[in-house]
C-alpha cells in the first residue's frame, strides 16, 4: 500500500536504530537541564512586571509584523534601554535567538564576503549561513590562528569583500569560553566584522551581568547577540550593534520583516529582567559558588571544570549516554543526554547545567548518583 510519509517513517526508524530518536519529556526532578541560570524564569519580579504591564494596557499579542501595526511602545522602550545597558549604539528585539541568528547571518554579509565561523557554532548560525550570500568556511574551535589563516587564504586568492568572524562567547555543549580579545584584535588587523553570540554568558558574566563582551560594545566592527530566554528568564533576543545594522535588518532581514512581532508583554518582562541582573549581583555570586562546589564534587569522577556553569560529561556512545541519562533521571535529577548532530559523532554526553534552581546539597547528591551509575 502506498505510504505518502514513508520517507519520514524510515528516517525516524533509522534514528531509533542509532539511539538518536528524540522525544519530548515532561519536567521532572531537580533542574540540571535548563538554561535558567539565575533562576529568573519564576521570579516574582518578572511576574509583577507582567501584571503591571497588563494593568497599564499593554496587549498580549502584537497583532502583526513590526513594520505593520505590531510595533509596540514596549518593544521600542526595551531596545532603547538594552542599548544603554550594554553600551551599544542600538538594539533590535527578535522573538528568539534562533530567528535573530539566522536573520543576522542571512542578511548582513553580502555577495563576495567571507564568513569564517567557529566549527562548534550553534545550529541557528548554520541556518543563517545556509541562506547567506557570502562564502562560509569553518575555523577550528576557539583557535584564532585558524580564523586568521582562512582570511589570509581568501585574500591571497584575490578576494576584496568584507570578512566576517562568527563565534559564541560561551559554548553551550562544552561550556568553554572564546578568546574574545584575540578575535577582536584579529578582526581589527583584517578589517573584519566580529559577530559574537552571548546567549549563555548574558546575565552570568561581566559587570551587572553584561556578559563576556562587557565593555566592548560601541565598536563599529562588533555585533553582539544577547538572548533573553536563558539567564534573563524570558524569551526573545537582542541584536546589539551599530545603528546601520539595526536599520539594515529592518529593511532587508526577511526573518524580521515577515515575522509577527514578539508579545509586548515579553518586551516588558525583558526590561525588568535587565533591571534584576543589575540590582541583584548576589545571584551571580551564588551561581559562582555553586559552580565551584560542583567542580569539587565532580572532580573525583574525572570530570574537568569547563570554566562556566555548563559542565559536560563525555560518554561517547549514543545508547550508553541515554542509558546513563535515564538512570540519573530515575534518581530524581533532570540531566539530559546530548547526541549527534548536536555534538560531534563519538562525543555524546550528559550536559550538566548549573542553575539557581538547585542547591549545593542537590549538586552533591547528583555527583554521588553519577558515581554509582558510571561504575
Query: Which positions are annotated as active-site residues?
Result: 35, 122, 168, 172, 197, 200, 230
Bridge partner residues of 166 (DSSP): 117, 195
Burial pattern 15-39, b for ≥16 Cβ within 10 A else e, equals: eeeebbeeeeeeeebbbbbbbbbbb
Q: What are phi and psi of 226, to 5 degrees?
A: -125, 115
Determine the Cα–Cα distance for residues 137 and 129; give it in Å rounded to an integer. Answer: 10
- Omega cis (within 30) before 341: yes
Nearest-CA neighbor of 49 among 203, 225, 239, 263? 263
Q: How far is CA 78 from CA 25, 92, 266, 274, in A?
A: 33, 9, 10, 9
How many Å apart are CA 207 and CA 72, to the nearest integer?
30
At 232, list the grid cell: 534573563
Cα separation, 215 vs 196, whole angstroms: 13
Amino acid at each position: 500500500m502506498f505510504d505518502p510519509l514513508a520517507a519520514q517513517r524510515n528516517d525516524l526508524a533509522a534514528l531509533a536504530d542509532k539511539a538518536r530518536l528524540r522525544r519530548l519529556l515532561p519536567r521532572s526532578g531537580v533542574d540540571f537541564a535548563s538554561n535558567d541560570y539565575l533562576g529568573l524564569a519564576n521570579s516574582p519580579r518578572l511576574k509583577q512586571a507582567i501584571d503591571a504591564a497588563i494593568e497599564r494596557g499593554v496587549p498580549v499579542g502584537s497583532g502583526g509584523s513590526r513594520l505593520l501595526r505590531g510595533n509596540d511602545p514596549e518593544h521600542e522602550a526595551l531596545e532603547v534601554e538594552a542599548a544603554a545597558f550594554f553600551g551599544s549604539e542600538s538594539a533590535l528585539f527578535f522573538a528568539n535567538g534562533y530567528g535573530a541568528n539566522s536573520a543576522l547571518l542571512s542578511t548582513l554579509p553580502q555577495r563576495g564576503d567571507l564568513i569564517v565561523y567557529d566549527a562548534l557554532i550553534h545550529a541557528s548560525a548554520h541556518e543563517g549561513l545556509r541562506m547567506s550570500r557570502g562564502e562560509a568556511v569553518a575555523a577550528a574551535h576557539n583557535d584564532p590562528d585558524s580564523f586568521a589563516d582562512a582570511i589570509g587564504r581568501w585574500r591571497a586568492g584575490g578576494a576584496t569583500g568584507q570578512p566576517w568572524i562568527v563565534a559564541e562567547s560561551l559554548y553551550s555543549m562544552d561550556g568553554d569560553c572564546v578568546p574574545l580579545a584575540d578575535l577582536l584584535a584579529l578582526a581589527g588587523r583584517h578589517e573584519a566584522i566580529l559577530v559574537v553570540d552571548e546567549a549563555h554568558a548574558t546575565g552570568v558574566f561581566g559587570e551587572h551581568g553584561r556578559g563576556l563582551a562587557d565593555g566592548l560594545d560601541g565598536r563599529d566592527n562588533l555585533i553582539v547577540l544577547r538572548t533573553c530566554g536563558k539567564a534573563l528568564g524570558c524569551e526573545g533576543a537582542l541584536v546589539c550593534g551599530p545603528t546601520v545594522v539595526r536599520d539594515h535588518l529592518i529593511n532587508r532581514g526577511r526573518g524580521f520583516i515577515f515575522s509577527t512581532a514578539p508579545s509586548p508583554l515579553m518586551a516588558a518582562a525583558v526590561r525588568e529582567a535587565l533591571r534584576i541582573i543589575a540590582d541583584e549581583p548576589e545571584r551571580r555570586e551564588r551561581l559562582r559558588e555553586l559552580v565551584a562546589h560542583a567542580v569539587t564534587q565532580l572532580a573525583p569522577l574525572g570530570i574537568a571544570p569547563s570554566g562556566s556553569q555548563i559542565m559536560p560529561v563525555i560518554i561517547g556512545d549514543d545508547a550508553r549516554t541515554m542509558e546513563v541519562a535515564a538512570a540519573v533521571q530515575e534518581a530524581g535529577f533532570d540531566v539530559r543526554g546530548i547526541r549527534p548532530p548536536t555534538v560531534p559523532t563519538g562525543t555524546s554526553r550528559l550536559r550538566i547545567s548549573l542553575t539557581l534552581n538547585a542547591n549545593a546539597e542537590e549538586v552533591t547528591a547528583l555527583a554521588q548518583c553519577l558515581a554509582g551509575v558510571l561504575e
